[in-house]
Amino acid sequence: MKLLIDDAHIEQIKKIYEFYPVDGVTTNPTILYKVGGKPFDVLKEIREFIGENSEMHVQATARTAEGMVEDARFILNRLGKNTLIKIPAIEEGFKAMKILRDENIKFTATAIYTPMQGFLAAKAGASYAAPYINRLDNLGYDGVQVAKDIHDIFCANDFETEILAASFKNSQQLLELCKYGVGAATASPDIISGLAKNKVVESAVEDFLTDFSKLVGEGKTMKDC
Ligand code: G3P
C-alpha cells in the first residue's frame, strides 16, 4: 500500500519525508485554502521538494467537465510528471474523466462515498478512486468497509484502478486497509507520525540505551567501543 501525505504545508511535508517512507502528496482546495497564498506557488514548492518520482494529486476546481479538463491540462503542464488530477465523482466529473482517459491524462476520482461511484470511476479509466473513510463514518456508514467493497469490485472486474483511501481520523482505520492490501492511502502528517509514536515502544528503546550506558559509559555508542 502506498502512503501519501494529505497536506500542503511544506514544512510538515519536509518533516514527514525526512523520517518516514512516503510516496507522495495529495491536496484538495480546502487544504490549499488552509495554507493560503497562491496555489501554484505552494504546489510548485511541494513538487520541487518531493521530486518527480513522488506522486502529487491536485484537484481540478472547475464546475463543468470542459473546465475540469482545461484545469487538468494546466495543472499537468505546471507540475509535470507523476501528477494526477483529482476529479470529483459527480456527473460533470465522469464526463471529464472520459475525456482525460482519451487524452492519456492520469486522474484520481475523488469525493467517493459509494461503491457505485467507485465502479463508474474505474470504468471511466481512473488510476485511483478516493473513498472518504472518516467522513463516511461520520455519516453513520462504515468507511473502511466501503473502501474494501470498492477494492473487491475492482478485483472482481479486473479493473486496474486502485483505492486511494482518504479522510482518516485514526491509525486503526489505516491499519484495516493495510491488512486488506488496498493500493494507497493518504493521511495527515499527524496521523502518519502517530503510526509509529508509542510511549511503550519509546520506553523499551530507552531501557536498552540506559543499560548500554551503564556498560560503556554515558554518551558512548557502538562506534566508541
Ligand atoms: O482530499 C479528500 C480528503 O483527504 C478529505 O479529508 O480530513 O477533510 O475529511 P478530510
Kindly name the residue from 38, 44, 86, 106 that is annotated as catalytic.
Answer: 86
* Cα(67) to centroid(ligand 1), Å: 23
The mean pLDDT value for 107-134 works out to 98
- Which residue's alpha carbon is nearest to atom 6 within ligand 1? 167
pLDDT of residue 192: 96
Task: Using the mean position of ligand 1's atoms as its centre, give its distance from the Cα of residue 30 in Å.
Answer: 9
75: which DSSP letter?
A: H
On the question of pLDDT at 43 being above 90, the answer is: yes
**Grid cell locating 205:** 528503546
- 183 within 8 A of 163, measured Cβ to Cβ: yes
- The ligand 1 site (C-beta within 6 Å) comprises 6, 28, 132, 134-135, 166-167
Is 86 labeled as catalytic in the residue annotation? yes
How far apart are the C-alpha atoms of 136 and 132, rounded to whole Å? 6
Residue nearest to atom 10 of ligand 1 (CA): 167
The rounded Å distance from CA 167 to ligand 1 centre is 4
Contact yes or no for 186/164 (Cβ under 8 A): yes
Q: What is the pLDDT, as a whole number, of residue 197?
A: 85
pLDDT for the residue 148? 98
Percent of the chain past pLDDT 90, that is, above it, reads 98
Nearest 5°: phi and psi at 90? -120, 175
Residue 174's closest CA among 12, 8, 22?
22
CB 108 within 8 A of CB 126: yes
Element spanning 146, H or E: helix 143-156
| Predicted confidence (pLDDT) per residue in 145-192, tens digit | 999 999 999 999 999 999 999 999 999 999 999 999 999 999 999 999
